[in-house]
Structure 1
Amino acid sequence: MQQGKDAIYSQPQEVSSFSFDQSVAEVFPDMIQRSVPGYNTIVDTIGQISAQFAQADTSIYDLGCSLGAASLSASKYIHAKNCKILAVDNSEAMAKRCELHVQTFKAKTPISVLCDDLQNIEINNASVVIMNFTLQFIDPTQRNDIIEKIYQGLKPGGVLILSEKLSHNTQTGNELLIDLHHEFKRRNGYSELEISQKRTALEDVMRIESFEQHKRRIESAGFNDVIRWFTCFNFSSMVAVKPN
């Protein structure tokens, strides 16, 4: 499927809160590649980790699936028998394009796409749950309940794969990571105007936390091992393992 180039914030405008609408869905692959360092590595490794922990006759959940990159990666690598992937996104524009991607790539492990809020989804008989840059867009007061629900729905030995943009616990460190990220975006062709307007659009929508905050929440839900396997600038991905 042909994808467009992200120019959403290239012209001066009255900036409203960021949403995953049709205009974002049309350019999302370009936007995410130019905005998130190591995105291809993250997605490919999510597939590998999913394959390692997928158990036969279980479900894999991709919560906040966007256009289905993580689901497709998991499908490519998983060899456990009778697994199925449920890809969930609350954006109708994203879910529709995700369905087209899934049909185009003809996934080995079957993928079902559902347009719904992840908080409405029951997690049952799961061996892997993926949240790839999803939790950061959810109200912080609701995050504990979501992680606890995931823990309860995972089988023993199952995993939560969580990718997030992080804050740092010192001002100097936080400013350094932000500066490095902005330079990454400049080198990928974004203008100062685009960087500034996108940051404004995300201010009230994406509320990020530190790794320590995530780790405390994950462990308090019952996970006994939190492995931070990827970090570049203020972007990170981790795996949380449910005890056997």
Structure 2
Amino acid sequence: MKDAIYSQPRKQVGDFRFDESVAEVFPDMIQRSIPGYDTIVDAIGQLAGKYAQSNSTLYDLGCSLGAASMAMRRYVSAENCQLVAVDNSPAMVERCERHINGFKSDLPVQVICDDLQNVDIHDASVIVMNFTLQFIAPEQRQTIINRLYQGLKPGGILILSEKLRHNTQAGNELIIDLHHEFKRRNGYSELEISQKRTALENVMLIDDFATHEERLTHAGFSDTVLWFKCFNFASFVAIK
């Protein structure tokens, strides 16, 4: 279904929420808003296939409709693994379960509707946060990354995909302009772009890459590899 959530003028634009209306149009919204999304998701599956360890748990934290989870299921062949997919949106979880159950795989999946901070992370070889951390309060992010590091096995990885800001005003405006043009070329109007930006202002507080790298290093990760970047969207993998 086509995303037309912000196509009509609103007297007041409320904060963005992952509710039923967003879940219904989410695939279209993502494809038209995030450059390289399919490449990111497929590479998450490849990375999971490479780093998944036998007798371990894989986590998809902030799983939305389960795209990353299904990519991991396609690539992971390590023995005796399980996948735990977590999202705090009931509308997303309901659809994620349907998608997961629609495909057979040797990798069993448990889909949980909860705040990821309430989920016990243990015996993990792969943890994915695909455009999730940016929606968590900045003051909580270091604690979360520390906890994920502690829950990973040696040699395990954390995959983070995030929208980034540039560390200069001119550079930041440049990548924002490029992203807005990307959205225009995918059919979004100026009204939709403006109202969506307003809706996200208070709920998606983004960092620059250096902040992410410093946070991961502080948690104990030995290396952080920026493997994808287009405009202000990036994906990187941190190795324990």
User: Contact 1:51/1:79 (CA < 8 Å) preserved in 2?
Assistant: yes
1:89 maps to 2:69: no
Query: What is the aligned partner in structure 1 of residue 39 from structure 2?
Result: 41
Which of residues 9, 12, 17 is equivalent to 1:12?
A: 9
CA deviation string 1:53-76 (max 9, x = no partner): 000010000000000000000010
Q: Deviations over 1:23-63 (max 9, x none)?
A: 00000000000000000000000000011000001000000
Once the two structures are superposed, the pairs formed by residues 125-136 of structure 1 within 5 Å of their partners are: 125-136=123-134
Counterpart amino acid of residue 8 in structure 1:
I
Q: 1:108 Cα deviation (Å)?
A: 3.3
CA contact (8 A) 1:72 1:107 kept: no
The amino acid of 1:47's aligned partner reads G
TM-score, length of structure 2 as denominator length: 0.99
For 1:188, the aligned partner's letter is: N
Residue in structure 2 matched with residue 106 of structure 1 by the alignment: 104
Uncovered stretches (5+) of structure 2, i.e. residues with no partner: none
**What's the CA shift for 1:111?**
1.3
The yes-or-no answer on 1:153 pairing with 2:145 is no
Q: Residue 63 of structure 1 contacts residue 89 of structure 1 at CA under 8 Å; is this kept in 2?
A: yes
**Structure 1: gaps (5+ residues):** none
State the distance in 2 between where 1:180 and 1:115 align.
35
Q: Distance in 2 between matches of 1:106 and 1:38?
A: 27
Cα distance in 1 for residues equivalent to 2:211 and 2:129: 16
**Identical columns (%):** 67
The number of aligned residues is 239
AA matched with 1:156 = P
Match of 1:200 in 2: 198
Q: CA deviation at 1:142?
A: 0.3
Secondary structure at the aligned position of 1:105 is classed as: coil
**Distance (Å, rounded) in 1 between the aligned partners of 2:109 and 2:56:** 13
Secondary structure of the 2:3 match is: coil
Q: One-letter code of the match for 2:201? A: E
The code of the aligned residue for 2:163 comes to K
TM-score by length of 1: 0.97
Q: Distance in 2 between matches of 1:209 and 1:57?
A: 34
In structure 2, the residue corresponding to 1:167 is in which secondary structure? Answer: coil
Tell me if structure 2 keeps the 8 A contact 1:62–1:70: yes
CA positional deviation for 1:104: 1.1
Q: In 2, distance between residues paired with 1:108 and 1:216?
A: 37
Cα shift readout 1:8-37 (whole Å, capped 9, x = no counterpart):
000001210000000000000000000000
Contact 1:226 1:238 in 2 (8 A): yes
Is residue 2:96 matched to residue 1:115?
Answer: no
From 35, 42, 52, the equivalent of 1:54 is 52
Listed one character per residue, the Cα deviations across residues 105-127 of structure 1 (whole Å, up to 9, x for unaligned) are: 22331111000000001100000
Aligned pairs for 1:135-150 within 5 A: 135-150=133-148
CA contact 1:147–1:217 (8 Å) conserved in 2: yes
